[in-house]
Amino acid sequence: MDRPITRFAPSPTGQPHLGHAYSALFGWHAAREVGGTFLLRFEDIDPNRCRPEFEAAFTRDLAWLGLSWPEPVRRQSEHMGDYRAALDRLAERGVLYPCFCSRKDIQEEIARAGAAPHGPEGPLYPGTCRHMDPGRRAALLAAGTPHALRLDVATGGHQAGPLTWTDREVGTVAAQPGILGDVVLARRDVATSYHLAVTVDDHMQGVTLVTRGRDLMEATHVHRLLQALLGLDVPLWHHHRLLMNERGERLAKRDGAASLAALREGGATPAEVCQRLGMPPPQRIPT
Ligand code: GLU
């Protein structure tokens, strides 16, 4: 790939910290060192958690680090029609089903069953609503009962056949689309989800190299299936290491001292931050 298009796609739910800086610099270098394009995208589908002031903080802190990107940036909240269209295509293929379960219903169902298939993040959705009697489903829908839409991964996987995806470090991997179970593609409160929006956006923005943390590697199996079902372009991936705090946990919002604003206010320069992350500072190449 000679001139990759990469992106950094934060959810503006808190102050940007060193982990974000590492991920953004990683994506920036992967593209710009070889004449490619680095994009910034805000994954702001959750109105309860995303705030304009955090978005402004990302823009300010990334520019302070010396990163640049083409404007306007894509904001997922402004593209709900694209996700709706993708959901319609999946519904036509018969790989979506409405799920009326609350979190509590799911926990109770798992407890009742005594055992549930486990994924990397704990028990998977037990499939309660996948097996719902069609008459009952139609009645609940007709009554306007709130529901999420889930991907029927077994049916989708069957339609798509065997799939692979390639990580620049790990190599080519056989996709396991069921690894996270029947994931939610449209939430009860928001008409899309992370998995759907990220997959549609990467295609629509022409992203050819998805750089992101290793914590999202399982999600890639699901995204690969969505790409196959929706007929979307398949990028290359590079899942990078995660930054840890001194307790060996993944750096998070609660590690306030690692926020870029706190570091800057404490007198750190962008070059020092880059050095601490083991990253060359970005040259100011115009976009
Ligand atoms: N929005 C996601 C996050 O903040 C990143 C999504 C991705 O890079 O695929 O963790």
- pLDDT tens for each residue of 26-75: 999 999 999 999 999 999 999 999 999 999 999 999 999 999 999 999 99
Q: What is the pLDDT of residue 123?
A: 87
Verdict on whether the full-model pTM lies above 0.85: yes
Averaged pLDDT score across all residues of the chain: 94
Looking at the predicted structure, is the pLDDT value of residue 208 above 80?
Answer: yes
User: What are the residues whose beta carbons fall under 8 Å from the beta carbon of 117, sequence distance 6 or more?
Assistant: 123, 124, 126, 181
Contact 47, 109 (CB under 8 A): no
Minimal-distance CA residue to ligand 1 atom 3? 10
Minimal-distance CA residue to ligand 1 atom 10? 10
User: How far does residue 152's CA lie from ligand 1's centre (Å)?
Assistant: 23
Minimal-distance CA residue to ligand 1 atom 6? 9
Contact 81, 197 (CB under 8 A): no
For the CA of 43, the closest atom of ligand 1 is: 1
Looking at the predicted structure, is the pLDDT value of residue 20 above 80?
Answer: yes
Pairing assessment for the beta strands 171-174 and 236-240 based on DSSP bridges: unpaired
With b for 16 or more beta-carbon neighbours within 10 A and e for fewer, the 48-79 pattern comes to eebeeebbebbbebbebbbbbbeeeebebeeb
- State which H helix or E strand residue 173 sits in: strand 171-174
User: How far does residue 284's CA lie from ligand 1's centre (Å)?
Assistant: 25
The string of pLDDT tens digits covering residues 132-142 is 999 999 999 99
User: How far does residue 212's CA lie from ligand 1's centre (Å)?
Assistant: 7
Looking at the predicted structure, is the pLDDT value of residue 176 above 90?
Answer: yes
Q: Residues 203-212: what's their mean pLDDT?
A: 98
H-helix segments, 114-210:
134-142, 153-160, 194-204
SS3 39: strand
Token pair in block for residue 147: 């529901």
For the CA of 10, the closest atom of ligand 1 is: 4
User: How far does residue 111's CA lie from ligand 1's centre (Å)?
Assistant: 31
User: How far does residue 91's CA lie from ligand 1's centre (Å)?
Assistant: 25
Contact 96, 55 (CB under 8 A): no
Looking at the predicted structure, is the pLDDT value of residue 286 above 90?
Answer: no
Give, in order, the Cα–Cα distances in Å from 224 to each of 73, 151, 202.
24, 13, 12
Return the closest-CA partner of residue 150 out of 117, 128, 119, 174: 128
- State which H helix or E strand residue 221 sits in: helix 217-230
Pocket, ligand 1, Cβ cutoff 6 A: 9-11, 43, 198, 212, 216
Task: Calculate the CA dihedral of residues 63, 68, 72, 76 and round it to 10 degrees.
Answer: -80
Using CB atoms within 10 Å of the CB of residue 7, give its burial: 0 to 12 exposed, 13 to 18 middle, 19+ buried.
buried
